[in-house]
Amino acid sequence: MKALLLLLLLAFPALAQAPLHGGPIRALAVAEDGTLATGGFDQSVILWPARTILRWHEGAVAAVIALPGGGFASAGEDTRIAIWHGGPAPSRILEGHEAPIAALAAHGAVLASAGWDATVRIWPPSGDAQTYTGHNGPVIALAFLPDGTLASAGYDGTIRLWPSGHVLVETGLPFNALVALPDGTLAAGGADGAIRFLKRDPSTIAASPRSIAALAATRDGAILAAASLGGAVTIWALPEGRLLHTLEGPGLPVWSLGFSPDGQTLWTGGADRQLRRWDVATGRGIGPFAEAPEAAHPPAFRACAACHALTPGDPPMAGPTLAGVIGRRMGTLPGYRYSERLARGDVTWTRQTIADLFTRGPETVLPGTRMPEQVVSNPEELNALLDFLEANSR
């Protein structure tokens, strides 16, 4: 296994560029100066090109934005918003949401957030937030219109404007993504794969047969990119809504998108943990597009790879590394903070105990564990997973 990897590294130097994120990239933002921030399921925010890893959130990072005056803001599962202005710790922390945050937006020095508590919050540069209610379910997307009006959308199928609370659109259909164009048009990506343009003359592009996961527009509003849950990323010329490119290559499906300030480069982040670059003019990938190392993993391990590393040098992830797990006593990896249940250490990991864990499920076998409930129900996949873990424990 190790020798094969070394051989691959010698043959394809691009593979040496290991992804820094330990899990899928969920959010991405490009600042005016071209620097980027990405946020992942691995709970970290990474600044590019410096490759600075900011480990502060205590849960998956679901939203990252660039702040107009410089710096970034991030938020997610832990319900907190962190403002980053260089340095290893947030320069400001905003708290108040009662459930995970799904979206952030900024207009001048004003910040907005929204999430699973169905509220929209507007945070002035100092002092308390204004909390707005009205949505009947999680609020998943936010965008400030050029005039400072905030638009919000979510699973209740409405798009609302704040602070007025005006319901701009009411469909039965969940929305996942919003982007405001410079002329005041709002583009909304829906669960039906359509992108709706909302202004005086509403129009629609049927962009994908699957739900739209993310949208991004160039600064001038002339080009729109859409990522769909089916894996396709499409690039459109606006306002006519003409399809320019459908991206092809590794790195799909994509969960986050952002254009460079000049609109010539599209950045994407997704399930393979890599930050990728695409040439907007040609729709082709730029730079080394190596397959992510997970391609060699058996199918059942791909789910684990979002939270567990396998190589000693891998960055810390949500779960302890599974390198050497067979034969290891539960809850004993030095430096990892286990839940009380695992810290008890009353199980030794063998083929049998791991098979039991994923047959009956973590909640049944180890009630109180922080590992989410999951089972591997296909016996062949389970066997391949155990073989794989065993091979990585020698």
Binding residues for ligand HEC, per CB under 6 A? Answer: 300, 303-304, 306-308, 318-320, 322, 325, 328, 330-331, 333, 338-339, 341-342, 349, 354, 358, 369-372, 376
Q: Cis peptide leading into 367, omega within 30 of 0? A: no
Based on CB atoms, which residue is closest to ligand HEC, 187 or 325? 325
Based on CB atoms, which residue is closest to ligand HEC, 15 or 323? 323
Of 201, 263, 253, 203, the closest CA to residue 231 belongs to 253
For residue 320, the minimal CB distance to ligand HEC (Å) is 4
For residue 141 the two structure tokens come to 């997307």
For residue 59, the minimal CB distance to ligand HEC (Å) is 10
For residue 267, the minimal CB distance to ligand HEC (Å) is 25
Residues 245 and 279 sit within 8 Å (Cβ to Cβ)? no
For residue 274, the minimal CB distance to ligand HEC (Å) is 19
Cβ neighbours for 131, distance < 8 A, ≥ 6 positions apart? 96, 119, 120, 121
For residue 351, the minimal CB distance to ligand HEC (Å) is 11
Q: At which residue do the structure tokens 């400001």 appear?
A: 92
Residues 111 and 73 sit within 8 Å (Cβ to Cβ)? yes
Based on CB atoms, which residue is closest to ligand HEC, 197 or 358? 358
For residue 282 the two structure tokens come to 């040609």
Based on CB atoms, which residue is closest to ligand HEC, 91 or 377? 377
Cβ neighbours for 7, distance < 8 A, ≥ 6 positions apart? none
For residue 67 the two structure tokens come to 């702040």
Q: At which residue do the structure tokens 């993993």 appear?
A: 297
For residue 270, the minimal CB distance to ligand HEC (Å) is 16
For residue 207, the minimal CB distance to ligand HEC (Å) is 30
Based on CB atoms, which residue is closest to ligand HEC, 223 or 304? 304
Based on CB atoms, which residue is closest to ligand HEC, 145 or 347? 347
For residue 125, the minimal CB distance to ligand HEC (Å) is 36
Based on CB atoms, which residue is closest to ligand HEC, 150 or 306? 306
Based on CB atoms, which residue is closest to ligand HEC, 190 or 331? 331
For residue 76, the minimal CB distance to ligand HEC (Å) is 13
Based on CB atoms, which residue is closest to ligand HEC, 13 or 327? 327
Amino acid at 279: D
Cβ neighbours for 335, distance < 8 A, ≥ 6 positions apart? none
Cβ neighbours for 159, distance < 8 A, ≥ 6 positions apart? 151, 152, 153, 167, 168, 169, 175, 178, 186, 188, 198
What distance in Å separates the CA atoms of residue 23 and residue 48, rounded to the nearest whole number?
Answer: 17
User: How large is the C-alpha radius of gyration of the chain?
Assistant: 22
What distance in Å separates the CA atoms of residue 394 and residue 392, rounded to the nearest whole number?
Answer: 6
